[in-house]
Chains A and B, each alone.
Chain A
Amino acid sequence: MKLILRKFALLLGLLGLIISSNSYSVVTGEMIMVRSAEAFPETMSLLQEAIRHQGYQLSRVQRVDVGLSAKGYATDKYRVVFFGKGNEIQQISAKYPQLIPYLPLKIAIFAEDDNTILISANPSTYNDLFNIPELKPTFDKWFIDITKIMKSVQIQN
């Protein structure tokens, strides 16, 4: 009986994931963009949590607004979050150095009034850009993962 219940729970979880992934969509094309109805601090926390949840490590947060403010420019919150999988980045950059300028992965996040906007380049476009068939699954996986990260930030609103 326990086994049946476990299977039910797993099935429910899967269905939940399928349904949630159909609830909202992010704008994709050359860029992946999403609007969060939450304020910047909450969205930033959700984003970092979503990145980790998707199996990536945060390597750095560039505080663009802090640099601008320090120089006297008025700006609202604007950060760039760098993330990736260390070993993957190490291997890809060693074999395909032309990709280095696009690594690690990153998402720009900025406040827009009481909403927050998140934007990332669409890694699946790297297929045409770099034409490295060996990396197609990686680029496509990055696209799926970034889309999931973005969606999860939006879904929790």
Chain B
Amino acid sequence: MKTFKITFKLYLQLTLLIYSVLVSFFQSSFAEPKGEDLYLENCAICHGTDGQGGMGIPISLDDFLKSASEDYIKKTIRLGRPNRIMPSFYWMPESDINKIVSYLGSWRKSPAPIWDSKPVKGDQLAGELVYKNKCASCHSENGRGGKGSGLHFSRSNGMIITPPALNNQGLLNSAPDAMLHYIISNGRKDTPMPSASTLGLSKTDINDLVSYIRSFHLKSIIHKPLYSEEPASLIQESPYSFDETVENVKRAITGSNFVHIRDQALTSGFDIETKDSPRQTIIYFCNFSFLYDALKIDPRVGMFLPCRITVTEQQDKVLMMSINPKHLSQLFNNDALDESCDQMYEVYSGILEDASL
């Protein structure tokens, strides 16, 4: 009888536990997601869990929030920043965007601004001159912005925050003139952006600058053509034997100012029998200066590191192959990185060509 009581008690406890687990599961599965959850799910990877910034800009910064209206944030989420890392959340339901905006509102120390949509009247040509003298050193010519991602923690880039691209159509479609005017007038505390008074700008200069920045605004967002025709891998047949090809590749790597790091079999490091496998040698190489610059521009590029060319024997053919950086550049939504990917494409193609001459 005693055993039965203990068993029954245990059974009851387990049933209650399962019930509570089930209730919590169904609540979590079918409840509407909260703004915080949506933020953590979609934004925190780049902007940090508390908005402190990372690959993305620090959006919990008081001076950022002072200038960012709810409408600006909504449009920014929807449009992203084409070719500047921040993706477009075109697929996100309006209600979810509103929840994120509302969650960001909990970080505000003052009410969200509401900007007038009226254009600021200024002299565009005069603004161009002011821009060249006062703004271009950080924001680059024609408003291209600084190279790199939001904050630079570990890969020094001269400035802690990458100056934004003022010619970006995502920005220009989200920020009204009044907002640009406010930012230029007040600067942004805790960032390298100085105020107009620090820069010695008059009220007319500010209006002219806004007018010049607005001149970058196009009627529609032009999406650059993707390398959709580019194959995922670069593959070239070698007229030489397997061993000769490996040596040729190494020689071509050195000739391209890259350092040969090591060779290894594709399955090296795995506990498997390889005697019947086709011969496959991976040749790793690097140019540290190039690597450092690429990581400064976009730390995500590491997922295709290190540089490597594989030589393999397939049905009496010797093949050399690598990733295709031009194809991969499409993944990053980062114009600045495209230049590096184009350079790497030239390097890879050159090595493959040299090794097969």
Contacts and interface: CB of A to CB of B under 8 A. Distances in A.
Interface stretch (B95-103, B249-257, B264-272): B264-272
Chain A interface size range? 35 or more
Interface of A: 1, 4-5, 8, 11-12, 15-16, 18-19, 22-27, 29-31, 33-35, 37, 57-60, 62, 64, 67-68, 71, 73-78, 80, 82, 84-87, 89-90, 93-94, 97-104, 106-108, 110-113, 115, 117, 119-121, 126, 129-130
A108 B271 contact: no
B41 A27 contact: yes
Interface of B: 7, 10-11, 14, 17-18, 21-22, 24-25, 28-29, 40-42, 44-45, 48-49, 52, 54-55, 87, 153-156, 232-235, 261, 264, 266-272, 274, 277-278, 280, 286, 288-289, 291-292, 295, 299-300, 302-306, 308, 310, 312, 314, 319, 321-323, 330-331
Contacts of A87: 272
B323 A101 contact: yes
Contacts of B11: 4
Contacts of B54: 35, 112-113, 115, 117
B269 A60 contact: yes
Contacts of B21: 12, 15-16, 19
A57 B7 contact: no
Given A73-B292, A121-B304, 4 more contacts: A1-B7, A93-B278, A112-B154, A113-B153
Chain B, interface SS category: mixed
11 contacts: A31-B300, A31-B303, A60-B269, A62-B306, A73-B289, A85-B270, A89-B267, A100-B266, A100-B312, A100-B321, A101-B308
Contacts of A101: 232-234, 308, 310, 321-323
